[in-house]
């Protein structure tokens, strides 16, 4: 299948990344399921894609390590011949007031979210074929400014900046670069550390009065990386149900 498009998705063993990998597999992409540590969860995603008639392989990688990321892209080339789509969904969060956040926690968040996004984006810029697409994951909290999200929002603000610059650096190569910024989305990462009242409050904020789902975000990514999204470039899409 030499004409099949090939997608590399990081953070694809759970949550939004998993939904993105499944969505791209369902739209005909061969998928490299990038993941940090959970072998079994990654293999489950691979098995789900292949059971539906798609092609997929897992690749373990720390997104902040350039050798790991290069090897993940090498896996895509060896298995499927190249890379057309890259989605960096790997991320880390930490909730605390800025006055109380430990700096080692700040460093860990920024290592994954800023350095990791940069390493993946850099490799994508070097490897993605003409006609391809690069999507980085941000967060609507950059605009919503929720208290306790200072470290996380700061890291994702950096992701948005590099997205907009990389889109312009890809001039002449027919490669789109965009960011998707989910609002509150029902994932394990979102529910962690939140009581029922907090979850209910956040779910009521969008006019649609519910949390987003990983499938909601995956559908936006599938659009941006598909034929219908070719004229969307250098943008940050706030996929949050209208929350303000």
Q: Residue length, the chain?
A: 244
Please check whether residue 228 is in contact with residue 220, taking contact to mean a CB–CB distance below 8 angstroms: no
By annotation, the residues acting in catalysis are: 152
Please check whether residue 76 is in contact with residue 6, taking contact to mean a CB–CB distance below 8 angstroms: yes
Report the sign of the C-alpha dihedral through residues 139, 142, 148, 150, in that order: positive
Strand order in 6-10's β-sheet? 55-60, 30-35, 6-10, 85-88, 133-137, 176-182, 236-239
């Amino acid at each position: 299948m030499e004409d099949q498009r090939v997608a590399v998705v990081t953070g694809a063993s759970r949550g939004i990344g998993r939904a993105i990998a499944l969505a791209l597999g369902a739209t005909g992409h061969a998928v490299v399921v990038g993941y940090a540590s959970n072998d079994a969860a990654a293999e489950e995603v691979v098995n789900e894609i292949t059971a539906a008639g798609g092609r997929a392989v897992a690749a373990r990688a720390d997104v902040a390590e350039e050798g790991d990321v290069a090897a993940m892209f090498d896996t895509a080339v060896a298995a499927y011949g190249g890379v057309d789509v890259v989605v960096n969904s790997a991320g880390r969060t930490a909730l605390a007031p800025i006055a109380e956040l430990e700096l080692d926690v700040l460093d860990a968040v920024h290592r994954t979210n800023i350095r990791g996004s940069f390493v993946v984006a850099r490799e994508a810029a070097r490897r993605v074929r003409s006609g391809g697409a690069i999507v980085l994951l941000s967060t609507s909290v950059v605009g919503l400014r929720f208290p306790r999200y200072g470290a996380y929002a700061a890291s994702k603000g950096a992701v948005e900046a590099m997205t907009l610059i990389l889109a312009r650096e890809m001039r002449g190569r027919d490669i789109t670069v965009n960011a998707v910024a989910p609002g509150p989305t029902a994932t394990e990462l979102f529910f962690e550390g939140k009581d029922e009242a907090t979850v209910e409050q956040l779910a009521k904020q969008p006019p649609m009065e519910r949390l987003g789902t990983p499938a909601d975000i995956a559908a936006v990514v599938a659009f941006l990386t598909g034929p219908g999204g070719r004229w969307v470039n250098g943008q940050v899409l706030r996929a949050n149900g209208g929350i303000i």
